[in-house]
Amino acid sequence: MKRTISVVVVVLLGLTVFICAQTPTAAAAPLFEVTVTNLTRGQQFTPILVASHQAGVRLFTLGSPASSELATLAEEGNTAPLTALLLATPGVRDIATSAGLLNPGQSVTISVDAGDEFDHLSVAAMLIPTNDGFFALNGVKGPRGHRTLTLYSPAYDAGSERNDERCASIPGPFFAECGGAGGGGKPGGGEGYVHIHAGIHGIGDLDPAQRDWRNPVAQITIRRTR
């Protein structure tokens, strides 16, 4: 009798294992890993904002005025206003921001949740020292499966501040030309629309031999990890 009971228990355990193995588990939400590499020689990137969202969400339109939130990012490196704007925008899934400054030649990876309908990405950060220069990806579709997508960004100008290239107008840490940290005053008189940045020309305090660039300024690699 005991032998019969033991056989039944073994059979039931086997059925339990089989059923569990056949029961589908909930798939983890897709995740995008975004790796940004600073391609410049003499510009740092402020903390980098990455957002996952649906198609149709955009940070800016070339030839049109920048939003005040994007202008704040481009002038001060402050991502908080743009983050708040995006969080209040229908179709935005997730937002993450890197920590600290990204030096020339260095890379940083930021991860954001995605989804079937949230398969587009936007990325932005200020270049320092500039008055209102930034790089960006503006609503690009991420890769499918486990593929990797590599894109390059030029430097954009928010058009919200005059490019006077003066230490008093540019926030940031120690700059050799300034003998210390930059300022934060806003000279005003910008072009009034987002356009490709014309670079550093030595009209103020900045040394173009050290600070100027040739586009692109950033490499952005996007990998879908699940």
Q: What is the domain partition of the chain in residue ranges? A: 31-224
Say if residue 156 is exposed, middle or buried (CB neighbours under 10 Å; 0-12, 13-18, 19+).
buried
For 19-33, 60-74, 162-176, which range has the lowest pLDDT when averaged over its residues? Answer: 19-33
Q: Which is more confidently placed, 19 or 185?
A: 185
Residue 196 is inside which H or E element, if any?
strand 195-196
Q: What does DSSP say about strands 180-181 and 174-175: parallel, antiparallel, or unpaired?
A: antiparallel
User: What are residue 147's DSSP bridge partners?
Assistant: none
Pick the CATH number of 31-224 from 3.30.70.270, 2.40.30.10, 2.60.40.2130, 3.90.1140.10: 2.60.40.2130
Distance CA 48, CA 59 (A): 14
Alpha-carbon distance 9 to 67, whole Å?
A: 68
Angle 68-76/80-87 helices, nearest 10 degrees?
150
- Bin 45: left if φ > 0, else alpha if -120 < ψ < 50, else beta: beta
Assigned token pair, 89 = 């925008």
Mean pLDDT lowest for which of 8-12, 66-70, 155-159, 185-189?
A: 8-12
Mean of the pLDDT values across residues 42-51? Answer: 98
Residue 82 has pLDDT above 90, yes or no: yes
